[in-house]
A and B are shown apart, each in its own frame.
Chain A
Amino acid sequence: MARRDNDYQRTLINYVVGFLASLALTFCAYVLVSGHILGGITLLLVIGGLALVQMLVQLLFFLHMADESRPRFRLVSFGFMAMILVIVVAGSLWIMYHLNYNMMGMSPSQKDTYMTTQKDKGF
């Protein structure tokens, strides 16, 4: 019974730590954006990074992915999903960005002007 209580305590602490860490990370990202502390691409990278850290926190503390025993089917399927995800998202952005550039049927100088205005708009 003592072992069971220990296990209970440990899981409870896991949930509380995961919850507090997630809250802290969310507030960090929110303050960074609303307080205009960083700007430009740095800000995007930092809040993207914070989201990834929060994903790890929740995978470990809420979904208990580290507790899985061998063979780690969940971890393997998660890894495969992550690979597909990166290919789909990064691939789409890459291809569509270049499509915009290559498929416009403009002269090179027109294209350059167009791309500069597009870039200023953040696309």
Chain B
Amino acid sequence: MSTPRLIEQKFLDYKTSSGFWLYLMTDCVLFASLFATYAVLHAAIAGGPSASDIFELPMALTETIILLTSSFTCGLALLALRHNNLKQLIVWLGVTYILGVSFLTIELSEFGSLIQAGHSWQQSAFLSAFFTLVGTHGLHITVGLLWLLVIVGVLFKRGITPKVKRQLMLFGLFWHFLDLVWIFIFTVVYLMGVAA
């Protein structure tokens, strides 16, 4: 099994994913600064609504479960990839994609109803910080979904190649990481916002 070519491939995989991991760590620092901003400004409501006035926990819980499940199905897709099972791989990636789109839809509808009620990012520092933090996460999800579309397109065209394998591995890291960031958004913004 361990032909020089395979070892070379493995080394390349490790190198690529380590570089991508470093990018994820810098992204964490970006989110850390947004979390810090939110934490500092969460009480600066300027006469507008506070966190407990506008957040609906059941909706945030639904979003959390959807994103968690999509992280799980993404893991299952990576497993299918390991077995070179193209059909299973595409099915799980499809499920991941649909869950990701539903997450984004719920988030955008939440943003929409907030803005319609007059609570846009212009109203208070709290709302600016909220829209920036949650919106940045939503932007990452959007980019991830576009990336996934491209990967599935390549899979349909060329099948499982070493290159697309590596892409999928990186996508898996990205998607799991976004789920992790959301756990903290759910806890800090929604749960603590309603609890306080």
Contacts and interface: CB of A to CB of B under 8 A. Distances in A.
Does B bind A?
Answer: yes
Interface of A: 8, 11-12, 15, 18-19, 22-23, 26, 29-30, 33-34, 43-44, 47-48, 50-51, 54-55, 58-59, 62-63, 73-74, 77-78, 80-81, 84-85, 88-89, 91-93, 96, 121-123
Interface residues of B, number: 43
A94 to B, nearest CB: 10
A122 B43 contact: yes
Interface string B161-196: 000000000000100110110011011100110111
A11 B32 CA distance: 30
Interface of B: 18, 21-22, 25-26, 28-29, 32-33, 35-37, 39-40, 43, 57, 61, 64-65, 68-69, 71-72, 75-76, 79, 82-83, 173, 176-177, 179-180, 183-184, 186-188, 191-192, 194-196
16 contacts: A12-B76, A15-B79, A18-B75, A19-B68, A19-B69, A19-B72, A19-B75, A23-B68, A26-B65, A34-B194, A58-B71, A78-B25, A81-B28, A91-B36, A92-B39, A93-B39
Given A26-B64, A78-B25, A122-B196, A62 B40 contact: no
Contact of A54 (B36, B39, B76, B183): B183
A76 to B, nearest CB: 10
A58 B18 CA distance: 18
A43 B192 CA distance: 8
A122 B28 CA distance: 27
A73 B186 CA distance: 29
Nearest to B193: A33
Contacts of A62: 71, 75, 176, 179
A23 B36 contact: no
A29 B183 CA distance: 11
Contacts of B76: 12, 15
Contacts of A74: 18, 21
Given A22-B68, A30-B57, A55 B183 contact: yes
B28 A47 contact: no
Contact of A88 (B36, B61, B64, B180): B36
Nearest to A44: B192
Contacts of B39: 89, 92-93
A95 B194 CA distance: 25
Contacts of B75: 15, 18-19, 62
Contacts of B176: 58, 62-63
Contacts of A96: 40
10 cross-chain pairs, A with B, having the tightest CB-CB distances, nearest first: A123-B43, A92-B36, A51-B187, A81-B25, A85-B32, A19-B72, A15-B75, A62-B176, A96-B40, A89-B36
B195 A43 contact: yes
A33 B68 contact: no
